[in-house]
């Protein structure tokens, strides 16, 4: 039985829901964030607020929440070509993928997470990737996660499990999952403190949280919220 986990934690809705889920199931949970030159770097700041809010509002989880780790992988921004790392308009590329796709990002994140989990003695890596209601990223697919789990386990010569709690649910169901885990208190905390907007907008407040209201991430979060509230 697995008792420890490392959650890839950006400070957004998805990773916060995954963190809450991990805290409800594992005895020790650590978090890992990445700086990669993202335009919405504000997510790095809200991570600490979200962790503190979780401990304050859910004291039963506080003793389980361990260290937070932050790694700099700005080599991703040096590769260029993504609207998440450059001041370019959001658009579709010739290959059919949105230009918010950062090639290799999740592959690199999981490789580094595997190395950290190895050093920290953590058994499970939790990531909020999703194939049901996502932006078309190939490195979010279930097959990719299974391949990475095998590669890490072989390459590190230690059994590591990659869990993807959101893989087969959409954004409305992600809101519902948060409610099952922590009721209105967790949903309200996610609305108020997490960050999703690709433009890093923490000025405009909507029913579903802060954001520009027009970027792809805001559109997805808003649509999920409206389906969740209308259910």
**Residues forming the annotated binding site for Zn(2+)?**
197, 212, 215, 218
pLDDT at 146 > cutoff 70 = yes
| Proportion of the chain above pLDDT 90, given as a percent | 71
pLDDT in tens, 71-103: 998 876 676 555 444 454 444 454 444 545 567
Q: What is the mean pLDDT of residues 63-68?
A: 98
Residues 6+ apart with CB under 8 A from 207: 191, 225, 229
**Residues forming the annotated binding site?**
9-19, 197, 212, 215, 218
Buried-exposed string 92-101: b where 16+ CB fall within 10 A, e elsewhere: eeeeeebbbb
Give residue 39's pLDDT.
55
Q: Which CATH superfamily is domain 4-230 in?
A: HUPs (3.40.50.620)
Give residue 38's pLDDT.
67
**Residues forming the annotated binding site for ATP?**
9-19
């Amino acid at each position: 039985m697995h008792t420890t986990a490392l959650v890839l934690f950006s400070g957004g809705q998805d990773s916060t829901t995954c963190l809450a889920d991990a805290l409800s199931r594992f005895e020790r949970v650590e978090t890992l964030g990445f700086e990669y030159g993202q335009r919405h770097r504000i997510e790095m700041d809200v991570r600490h607020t979200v962790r503190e809010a979780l401990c304050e509002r859910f004291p039963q989880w506080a003793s389980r929440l361990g260290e937070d780790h932050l790694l700099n992988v700005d080599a991703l921004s040096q590769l260029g070509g993504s609207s998440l790392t450059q001041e370019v308009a959001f658009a579709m590329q010739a290959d059919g993928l949105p230009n918010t796709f950062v090639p290799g990002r999740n592959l690199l994140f999981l490789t580094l997470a595997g190395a950290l989990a190895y050093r920290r003695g953590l058994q499970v890596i939790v990531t909020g990737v999703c194939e049901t209601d996502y932006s078309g990223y190939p490195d979010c697919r279930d097959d990719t996660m299974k391949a990475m789990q095998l590669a890490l386990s072989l390459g590190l010569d230690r059994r590591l499990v990659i869990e993807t709690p959101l893989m087969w649910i959409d954004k409305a169901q992600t809101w519902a999952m948060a409610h099952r885990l922590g009721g209105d208190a967790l949903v309200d905390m996610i609305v108020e403190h997490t960050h999703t907007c690709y433009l890093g907008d923490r000025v405009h407040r909507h029913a579903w949280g802060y954001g520009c209201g027009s970027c792809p991430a805001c559109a997805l979060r808003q649509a999920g919220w409206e389906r969740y509230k209308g259910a």
